[in-house]
Amino acid sequence: MSTAHEIHLARRPHGFPDAADFTLVERELPEPGPGEAVVVNRAFSVDPYMRGRMNDVPSYVPPFRLNEAMDGRSVGEVAAVGPDVSEVAVGDLVLANLAWRDRGISKAEHLQRVPDVAGVDPRAYLGVLGAPGLTAWVGLLDKASFRPGDAVFVSGAAGAVGSLVGQIAKAKGASRVVGSAGSAEKVAWLTGELGYDAAFNYKDGPVRDQLQKAMPDGLDVYFDNVGADHLEAAIAVANDHARVAACGAIAHYNDTADAPTPGPSNLFQIVKKRLAIQGFIVTDSLDRFAPFLEEVTPWVADGRVRFAETVVDGVDHAVEAFQGLLRGENTGKMLVQVGG
């Protein structure tokens, strides 16, 4: 028996999640049964999509259940295994679906050993080499049909996904890459370290005005993480036949029926400009994980691709980390460090 600390969803948030919507629970874990393993987490991910799972509505992923531990990607060490386990051994470092807790029990067949690659920290497989990285790669190359010479705009460019999109676009021959972010520090990071040609703070003025100034010759690809005024601005600045990869719309995630965030007012330009907008969910492209890792892992290992992590210590601060993510307080991947 061992003691686990878990964050449970106590009630479904209305609008922006409140601390009272969650409960920190301590419980005793049983010994692992046949085919099971106990994993002690080192770190876990909190992600924007989790906000949608807190609502009891049909979606592409089931909602979190009330009064049960939430889940998500984690990296940790196997501490014990039950009978008939051959997939992993005690001491293995593994990727699991055991976020929002310091330890948990998983079917061993659902665990993945963390690749041992020189120069790559295991936590990278929660971010730049995990689902966020795959999202950036698939969204830009497959969904937006990126071509060398394209001018690319990325909203939420200082996040886990956006920060990689711009770097891939530059590596693949983009003519210009522009990003939006929420602070002067993030703007400086995009242009000073990640190679963005230009970036702007969306809080400094109307997004459309800033984007037109940054991309006077228009854009060919828009990678959308925000929606709302960013999507409207991209439609306005888009060249004919531009492509949009609609990855997320964080501006709308805390909307309520009585207070929705306004959407674009210029949708007819989609027709006039013959724009292509492709929404996508990364889990539909898991068959692309191997070629993604084959291409991007060497870039991460040798420093050609840079990434950042915003790390919050302790399961008891996981809700604060998630709230900070929704407020845009993170640079790069938001992680909760548990130990190790």
pTM, to two decimals: 0.95
Number of domains making up the chain: 2
As to burial, measured by CB atoms within 10 angstroms (0-12 exposed, 13-18 middle, 19+ buried), residue 119 is exposed
Same domain for 89 and 50, yes or no, is yes
Structural domain contains residue 63: yes
What Rg value do the Cα atoms of the chain yield, rounded?
20
Rounded-to-integer distance, Cα 94 and Cα 86, Å: 14
Same domain for 123 and 137, yes or no, is no
Residue 213, C-beta contacts closer than 8 angstroms, at least 6 positions apart: 200
Structural domain contains residue 293: no
Same domain for 121 and 148, yes or no, is no
Same domain for 204 and 143, yes or no, is yes
Structural domain contains residue 98: yes
Same domain for 154 and 207, yes or no, is yes
- The residue ranges of the chain whose pLDDT is under 50 are none
**Residue whose tokens read 């990434």:** 307
Structural domain contains residue 142: yes
Same domain for 47 and 164, yes or no, is no
Q: What is the pLDDT of residues 56-107, one digit of tens each?
A: 998 888 999 999 999 999 999 999 999 999 999 999 999 999 999 999 999 9
Helix (H), strand (E) at residue 81:
strand 74-81
Q: What is the CATH number of the domain that holds 25?
A: 3.90.180.10
Rounded-to-integer distance, Cα 201 and Cα 331, Å: 14
Same domain for 41 and 174, yes or no, is no
Same domain for 106 and 23, yes or no, is yes
Same domain for 251 and 279, yes or no, is yes
Same domain for 107 and 135, yes or no, is no
Q: What is the pLDDT of residues 253-276, one digit of tens each?
A: 999 988 899 999 999 999 999 999
Structural domain contains residue 216: yes
Same domain for 186 and 228, yes or no, is yes
Rounded-to-integer distance, Cα 231 and Cα 208, Å: 9
Same domain for 172 and 278, yes or no, is yes
Rounded-to-integer distance, Cα 126 and Cα 142, Å: 22
**Residue whose tokens read 């242009």:** 191
Which of 116, 24, 37 is CA-nearest to residue 81?
Answer: 37
Structural domain contains residue 294: no
Provide the pLDDT for residue 60: 87
Range of the domain at 248: 131-284
Q: What is the CATH number of the domain that holds 162?
A: 3.40.50.720
3-state secondary structure of 317: helix
Structural domain contains residue 156: yes
Cβ 227 vs Cβ 250: under 8 Å: yes
Structural domain contains residue 300: no
